[in-house]
Amino acid sequence: MTAPGLVVAAHGRHFIVETPEGTRLTCHPRGKKSDCVVGDRVRWQPTGSGGEDEGVIQKIDPRRNLLFRQDEWKTKSFAANLDRIIVLVAGDPMFSESQLTRALIAAEDAGIDVCVVLNKADLPQAALARERLAPYRAMGVEVHDCSIKHDAEAARALFGPLLAGRTTLVLGPSGTGKSTLINLMVPEAAAQVGEISTALNSGRHTTTTTRWYWVDRPAGTALIDSPGFQEFGLQQIDVQRLPRLMPDLRAHIGDCRFYNCTHRQEPGCGVRAAVERGDISPSRYRIYGELFDELSRSSHR
């Protein structure tokens, strides 16, 4: 007989699985290969071997969704069964618009609701960051401002409703305040990390793993912290689908003369006309061109 569980942390081939009653135990996957990620619902069995692992993961239940990135060498999964992604950005260090776009495309492709939060809104650099985020607001992305460290009360008031009753993954480069957010919303986070580190015997490596935190377990409110990333490959995206995963471009595809328009050089292109009118920002169109070239190269390998 197998029992249900939730994967709340992973390190190598060892996983922390939480039972419906809230007990956590260390499990390993059946077989050599494991596709488990944080957020997976699994079926497990006790090992009965008295070893360091207490259970074996026999099966992963069907996922609602999976957020991952893929470059030419490997695929890196963030988490599964998400209700929302919060992309945390800042003006110091200034966020990369290309990385933000890539995260939004991956979320759109996975069918996961996403919003952007500009942290450190009290700093002078925030004005430029707001300017860079204007096209995203304009195309319908939910964008918020906050200063987690300097106005904890306002930050709590913002994130409370954003997180309530959902499983939310926080994405963003290092230095944007993800750890500060976790500590604000989950005061016992350090204790949770310590328990997981001890169980996985992973020590310092836990900062490079994805972890699940309960903000309010009875209400089903959970926050998943992910490691900061420098690159966000989108090799899983077919280049023909790319414009449809970018809402500002998608809005003008129907105006193109040719059904298979690449929006690069064809005459009668609705997307390029929108760029000229100022309906699509030049930076967004430039990023589209870079991604188009990158994905075209990968499709020909």
| Known binding positions for GTP | 119-122, 172-180
Asked if residue 93 has a cis previous peptide bond (ω within 30° of 0), the answer is yes
Q: Bin 23: left if φ > 0, else alpha if -120 < ψ < 50, else beta.
A: beta
Q: Select from 117, 124, 120, 123 the least CA-distant residue to 103.
A: 117
Q: Select from 94, 98, 179 the least CA-distant residue to 130.
A: 94
Distance CA 57, CA 4 (A): 10
Q: Residue count of the chain, please give it.
A: 301
Ordered DSSP codes for 32-69: S-----TT-EEEEEE--S-SS--EEEEEEPPPS-EEEE
Ordered DSSP codes for 193-206: HHHHHHHHT-GGGG
Which amino acid belongs to residue 98? S
Beta-ladder partners of 17: 7, 25
Distance CA 189, CA 136 (A): 32
Residue 216 CB coordination number (10 Å): 14
Feature table: binding site for Zn(2+)? 256, 261, 263, 269
Look up tokens 């988490």; give the residue. 79
Look up tokens 């135990």; give the residue. 25
Look up tokens 């994905």; give the residue. 295
Distance CA 188, CA 193 (A): 9
For residue 247, the surrounding DSSP H or E stretch is helix 247-250
Q: Select from 235, 299, 296 the least CA-distant residue to 262.
A: 296
Feature table: binding site? 119-122, 172-180, 256, 261, 263, 269
